[in-house]
């Protein structure tokens, strides 16, 4: 492969400081990808929902109901995640993304990359979980 040709064809990049999402551009791409995948999955789940009437046998009917319950529960979980993703994208648009909701400190990039929908830093998250355990 002639390397000189590829070098010539490569366009020069302008300043990378003008990226709309700033330092979280990478995470935003992850979120948008995850969002698209969720929507696609939700569409597939709806299409694959079995027709209950078409099961002649009672045991098959029971299986179908269990399957459907599972699909519904999964859908609710996915909807919650979708909401979280949308919220995260909103926060990016308003430049409040990556700020801990409890202490106002910046959440470390590594944590955001691993868990992009989080709204709490690890200390506050741990604290919150501890409080939830006490309440239960
Ligand atoms: Zn915090």
* Ligand 1 center to 133 CA (angstroms): 18
Question: What's the confidence (pLDDT) of residue 89?
Answer: 96
d(CA 46, CA 72): 9
The model's pLDDT over 122-132, given as tens digits with 9 standing for 90+, comes to 999 999 999 99
What is the pLDDT at residue 17? 43
pLDDT above 60 for 37: yes
Task: Compute the distance from residue 130 Cα to the ligand 1 centre, in Å.
Answer: 14
Residue 1's pLDDT is: 54
**Which of the two residues, 14 and 29, has the higher pLDDT score?**
29
Is pLDDT at 75 greater than 90 in this prediction?
no
Spell out the residues 6+ positions from residue 127 whose beta carbon is closer than 8 angstroms to its own: 102
Token pair for 90 = 């909103």
CA 85/CA 81 separation, integer angstroms: 6
Fold of 21-97: 1.20.120
37 Cα–ligand 1 center, Å:
30
Domain boundaries, the chain: 21-97, 100-136
Assigned token pair, 56: 């002649």
């Amino acid at each position: 492969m002639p390397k000189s040709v590829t070098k010539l064809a490569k366009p020069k990049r302008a300043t990378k400081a003008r990226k709309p999402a700033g330092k979280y551009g990478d995470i935003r791409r992850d979120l948008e990808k995850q969002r698209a995948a969720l929507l696609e999955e939700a569409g597939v789940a709806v299409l694959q929902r079995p027709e209950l009437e078409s099961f002649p046998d009672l045991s098959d009917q029971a299986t179908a109901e269990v399957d459907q319950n599972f699909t519904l529960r999964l859908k609710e979980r996915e909807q919650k995640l979708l909401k979280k993703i949308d919220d995260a994208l909103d926060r990016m648009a308003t430049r409040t993304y990556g700020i801990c909701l409890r202490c106002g400190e910046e959440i470390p990039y590594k944590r955001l990359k691993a868990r992009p929908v989080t709204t709490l830093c690890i200390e506050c998250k741990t604290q919150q979980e501890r409080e939830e355990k006490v309440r239960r």
